[in-house]
Amino acid sequence: MERTQAKNRHKGRERAFQILYGWSFSESSEQGHTQRTFENFAGEQFEDNQEANQYAWQLISGVEKQLQTLDRIIAAYSKNWRLDRIAKVEITILRLSLYEMLFGKDVPVKVAINEGIELSKKFGDRKSNKFVNGILDAIGKNWKEHESLSALTGETEKS
């Protein structure tokens, strides 16, 4: 991947994090709410970088669509932590990084983990990066070995 594309993806991840973090406080499940929020935010806060904005929207909409699956996997790996007890910053980063790891076909597991750690250093507290790293690393090892969503959640696949 060329350097400019990697830089734009990094910006896109940060933008996606910001929208998803705000979304975690919203009670609205109204169709299109997230997209309107993103468009408003992009128009006011993000410089005109179409590649970063397109990648951010791809991540946002993907996390939104796969939320239940992502949360089941995070719950399975966050021993002694209920999802509602994980800080909003960390749960947002875990969802975003996990989405990239599992569904971002051209994103290596290591990149998804490293980007999650970088987001946690920038937006979280001093312990965030260790927590995020621990969970993503455990999921990443299992994903590399099995590449099966059911293996990550502990559920058996239906034939």
Q: What is the pLDDT of residue 158?
A: 46
Residues 53 and 28: their CA atoms lie apart, in Å, by 23
Alpha helices in the chain (DSSP H): 3-23, 33-44, 50-65, 67-77, 88-103, 109-123, 128-146, 149-153
Q: What is the pLDDT of residue 146?
A: 80
- pTM, two decimal places: 0.88
- Which residue bears the tokens 């260790």? 130
User: How does pLDDT run along the chain (159 residues), one tens digit per residue?
Assistant: 688 888 889 999 999 999 899 888 876 566 677 777 777 666 655 567 788 889 999 999 999 999 999 999 999 999 888 888 999 999 999 999 999 999 988 999 999 999 999 999 999 999 999 999 999 999 999 988 887 777 787 765 443
Q: What is the pLDDT of residue 111?
A: 94
Packed helices 109-123 and 128-146: angle between N→C axes, nearest 10 degrees:
170
Q: What is the pLDDT of residue 22?
A: 86
Q: What 3-state class would DSSP assign to 132?
A: helix
Ordered structural domains, the chain, with CATH: 3-153 (1.10.940.10)
Name residue 28's amino acid.
Answer: S
Q: What is the pLDDT of residue 32?
A: 73
Number of other residues whose CB lies within 10 A of the CB of residue 66: 17
Q: What is the pLDDT of residue 159?
A: 38
**Which regions of the chain does DSSP assign to beta strands (E)?**
none
